[in-house]
């Protein structure tokens, strides 16, 4: 009889978003006249930009003609899309070879799939609070997970502790859920720790496009990172590809463990288990990197960033402690009135009709925190913050 991967028994069922949906549905049924504003969504709302649609349309038409039809493509992506990605990195001073860039169907899959390269014996360090995918994918393969305390004291930017030995380290900057961003000195500490201890950093740069301050967009801007890090990036939040699906993963050729090249291992893994991203999508992604496309996606990002500013200005005005809001679409705030995060969720929904995400859904250190996102419309963000202000002022 077949035996199953029993590690799945150890994965905690995530009720976070279903619990939120149920509470919102119940409230809405009981209060049909109240307009609910959703500030908890992690999905984008702005459509694909014209430049992407135009390139994608070319790709679609090509697929309909025998002379320009594309069948199976290179598993690791077409050169025509890797070239502009290489050039994009070069703008930040990062020189990559084309065969260090692997085109993927998004950061989530690759963040999970990369674990094929590592033994289940490794100890994994993840911050708490955290994007839950890092935790669940490691539980699935039975790894030991330890948590790095990310909290108000360290500004939700934990630094390495020499007394803690970790083989695989997850870093997400700008962070989901906290919006906090590591600076160069802080990232250098992680890179030095990893090189000294023979650890690998899995760096999630899904929100790099929101950075406009002097913060590293890529871990490879940090000296020494090419011998200890793999980077995951995504067009989801950069260019509204959440439903279109494309990302890229950078595995440097200088990266080795136990005398094995992780670049070669990843190539082998991808050519064995993955057949590449659709030609039409890669063609569409070309429209992200043209000068016109860059301008158009920037407009969308600026739109979200303006929303983030409306939210963070409100927190400033109310004197509420928070991280994010700058260089990030997330604002992570300390629940007013010393409330627990679900208590504050109910309070905000019932009295203001505004929905956010309780911090406890991302880990124990989120117990008294709450995530608001900038992915709503500007009108709704303004209205939600007006209601938020009025309500929180009643707490005195």
Which residues partner with 333 through β-bridges? 322, 370
Binding residue (CB under 6 A) for ligand PLP from 131, 170, 248, 332: 131
Lookup: tokens for 54: 């135009």
CA 167 – CA 121 distance, rounded (Å): 9
Complex with ligand PLP: residue 287 or 336, whichever CB lies closer: 287
Binding footprint of ligand PLP, residue count (CB under 6 A): 13
Does 114 contact ligand PLP by CB under 6 A? no
The dihedrals phi and psi of 76, each to the nearest 5 degrees, come to -90, 10
Binding residue (CB under 6 A) for ligand PLP from 40, 106, 325, 353: 106
The dihedrals phi and psi of 211, each to the nearest 5 degrees, come to -80, 125
Q: What is the DSSP string of 110-131?
A: HHHHGGGGS-TT-EEEEEES--
Q: 3-6: long-range contacts at Cβ-Cβ below 8 A with a sequence spacing of 24 or more?
A: 5/140
Complex with ligand PLP: residue 195 or 242, whichever CB lies closer: 242
CA 236 – CA 242 distance, rounded (Å): 4
Q: Shortest gap between Cβ of 67 and ligand PLP (angstroms)?
A: 33
Does 102 contact ligand PLP by CB under 6 A? no
Q: Shortest gap between Cβ of 231 and ligand PLP (angstroms)?
A: 12
Which region among 104-112, 220-228, 259-267, 296-304 touches ligand PLP (by CB under 6 A)? 104-112
Complex with ligand PLP: residue 235 or 355, whichever CB lies closer: 235
Residue with tokens 């009889």: 1
Q: Shortest gap between Cβ of 216 and ligand PLP (angstroms)?
A: 16
Which residues partner with 229 through β-bridges? 201
Q: Shortest gap between Cβ of 234 and ligand PLP (angstroms)?
A: 3
Which x/- pattern, by CB under 6 A, does the window 27-56 give for ligand PLP? ---------------x--------------
Residue with tokens 């930040």: 92
Which x/- pattern, by CB under 6 A, does the window 281-320 give for ligand PLP? ----------------------------------------
Lookup: tokens for 78: 């077409």
Complex with ligand PLP: residue 42 or 74, whichever CB lies closer: 42
Q: Which residues 152-191 are close enough to bind ligand PLP by CB under 6 A? A: 172, 176
Complex with ligand PLP: residue 210 or 342, whichever CB lies closer: 210
Calculate the CA 308 to chain-centre distance: 16
**Strand-strand pairing, 369-373 and 123-128:** unpaired
Other CB atoms within a 10 A radius of the CB of residue 32 amount to 6
CA 74 – CA 252 distance, rounded (Å): 19
How far CA 270 is from CA of 96, 246, 312, in Å, comes to 19, 15, 41
**Strand-strand pairing, 357-358 and 369-373:** antiparallel
Other CB atoms within a 10 A radius of the CB of residue 53 amount to 14
**What's the DSSP call for residue 27?**
H
Q: Shortest gap between Cβ of 80 and ligand PLP (angstroms)?
A: 20
Does 206 contact ligand PLP by CB under 6 A? yes
Which region among 14-22, 102-110, 151-159, 304-312 touches ligand PLP (by CB under 6 A)? 102-110
Q: Which residues 330-389 are close enough to bind ligand PLP by CB under 6 A? A: none
Q: Shortest gap between Cβ of 16 and ligand PLP (angstroms)?
A: 13
CA 193 – CA 36 distance, rounded (Å): 46
Does 218 contact ligand PLP by CB under 6 A? no
Binding residue (CB under 6 A) for ligand PLP from 218, 236, 282, 307: 236
Q: Shortest gap between Cβ of 177 and ligand PLP (angstroms)?
A: 8
Which residues partner with 202 through β-bridges? 170, 230
Q: Shortest gap between Cβ of 292 and ligand PLP (angstroms)?
A: 23
The binding site for ligand PLP (CB under 6 A) comprises 42, 106-108, 131, 172, 176, 204, 206, 234, 236, 242, 247
């Amino acid at each position: 009889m077949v035996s199953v991967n029993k590690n799945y028994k150890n994965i905690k069922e995530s009720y976070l978003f279903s619990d939120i949906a149920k509470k919102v549905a119940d409230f809405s049924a009981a209060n049909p006249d109240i307009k609910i504003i959703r500030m908890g969504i992690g999905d984008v709302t702005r459509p694909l930009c014209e430049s992407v649609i135009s390139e994608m349309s070319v790709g679609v038409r090509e697929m309909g003609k025998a002379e320009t039809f594309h069948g199976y493509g290179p598993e690791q992506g077409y050169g025509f899309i890797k070239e502009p990605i290489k050039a994009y990195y070069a703008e930040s001073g990062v020189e990559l070879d084309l065969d260090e860039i692997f085109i993927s169907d998004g950061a989530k899959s690759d963040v999970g799939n990369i674990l094929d390269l590592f033994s289940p014996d490794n100890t994994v360090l993840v911050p708490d609070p955290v994007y839950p995918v890092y935790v669940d994918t490691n539980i699935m393969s039975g790894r030991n997970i330890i948590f790095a305390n990310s909290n108000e004291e360290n500004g939700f930017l934990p630094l390495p502790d020499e007394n803690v030995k970790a083989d695989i380290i997850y870093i997400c900057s700008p962070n989901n859920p906290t919006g906090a961003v590591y600076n160069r000195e802080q990232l250098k500490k992680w890179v030095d720790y990893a090189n000294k201890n023979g650890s690998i950093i899995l760096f999630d740069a899904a929100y790099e496009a929101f950075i406009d301050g002097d913060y590293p967009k890529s871990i490879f801007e940090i000296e020494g990172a090419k011998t200890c890090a793999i980077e995951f990036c995504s067009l989801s939040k950069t260019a509204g590809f959440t439903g279109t699906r494309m990302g890229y993963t950078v595995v440097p050729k200088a990266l080795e463990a136990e005398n094995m090249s992780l670049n070669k291992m990843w190539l082998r893994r991808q050519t064995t288990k993955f057949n590449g991203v659709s030609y039409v999508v890669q063609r569409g992604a070309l429209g992200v990197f043209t000068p016109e496309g860059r301008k158009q996606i920037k407009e969308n990002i600026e739109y979200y960033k303006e929303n983030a500013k409306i939210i963070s200005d409100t927190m400033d005005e109310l004197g509420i402690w928070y991280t994010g809001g700058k260089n990030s679409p997330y604002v992570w705030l300390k629940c007013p009135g010393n409330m627990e995060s679900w208590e504050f969720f109910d309070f905000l929904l019932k009295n203001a009709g505004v929905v956010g995400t309780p911090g406890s859904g991302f880990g124990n250190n989120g117990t008294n925190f709450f995530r608001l996102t900038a992915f709503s419309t500007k009108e709704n963000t303004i209205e939600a913050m007006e209601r938020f202000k009025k309500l929180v002022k009643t707490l005195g």
